[in-house]
Amino acid sequence: MENMFSLEGKVALVTGAAYGIGLAMAKALAKAGAKIVFNCSRQETVDRGLAAYKELGIDAKGYLCDVTDEAAVKAMVADIEQTVGTIDILVNNAGIIKRIPMEEMGVEDFRRVIDIDLIGPFICAKAVIPGMIKKGAGKIINICSMMSELGRETVSAYAAAKGGLKMLTRNICSEYGEYNIQCNGIGPGYIATEQTAPLRERQADGSRHPFDSFIIAKTPAARWGNPEDLEGPAVFLASKASDFVNGHVLYVDGGILAYIGKQPK
């Protein structure tokens, strides 16, 4: 059973994994034996990531690379293949969100979200698939979202991108499954990270933030997720244990998508 989940000798590229859920998933892959490579679009973020991995005792390699720049991604993948090894596992984690009402959102803002959250994973997958075909195996994990299934006010671009990423996941499965390449998604629920910390702060009177109350009420688990909640799913989808799982999105949301919500009092 341990061998089914072992990633010994595997090379994992986790995009945007300097902190947050990307770092948590990369840490889990490293614990399972994988060599970790990550990228960020700013040098200060790469440096932050390298310091975090060093503190965790993980010998990771970081690259300055924008996932929307196809030439830069190709160069990064070529360098990884030459200096670390063929990429066995790609986790398309890099992403952004812009919370702007649709009628107020500029086209450039909309395009920027689509570029990073959807076109970036396309570019990265396209770059690693030839090496996976040559090796006869590969794992691609796209970080989707509950917004791959649901709409919500102010996130039109994000929902469009994540819905598209779900379908890109299925299409990579359809097109490359015969080469023993599995492409699946992870759809995180609301995760307690530094980015969401303001939404969980107690109010002056000691009550929950309204959004915090909303999420707790919508989640059967009655809590926010932790980055560590994504570690097991990431290792599963990166390992031999999921060799016949393809084109699937695994929602790690505490049950939100299964739940209609509490009846108002």
SS (H, E, C) 193-205: CCCCHHHHCCCCC
Tell me which of 53, 158, 176, 251 is the catalytic residue: 158
Residues 214-236: b if buried by 16+ CB within 10 A, e if exposed: ebbebbeeeebbebebbbebbbb
Residue 104, C-beta contacts closer than 8 angstroms, at least 6 positions apart = none
Q: Give the Cα separation of 11 and 131 in Å (integer).
A: 12
DSSP string across 58-107 = ---EEEE--TT-HHHHHHHHHHHHHHT----EEEE---------GGG--H
Cα separations (Å) of 186 from 57, 117, 130, 192?
26, 14, 23, 16
Q: Give the Cα separation of 92 and 31 in Å (integer).
A: 19
Structural tokens at position 168: 């890109």
Q: Alpha helix (H) ranges present in 151-221? A: 156-176, 210-218
Give the 3-state secondary structure of residue 225.
Answer: strand
The answer to whether 259 is a known catalytic residue is no
Residue 244, C-beta contacts closer than 8 angstroms, at least 6 positions apart = none
**Which are the catalytic amino acids?**
158
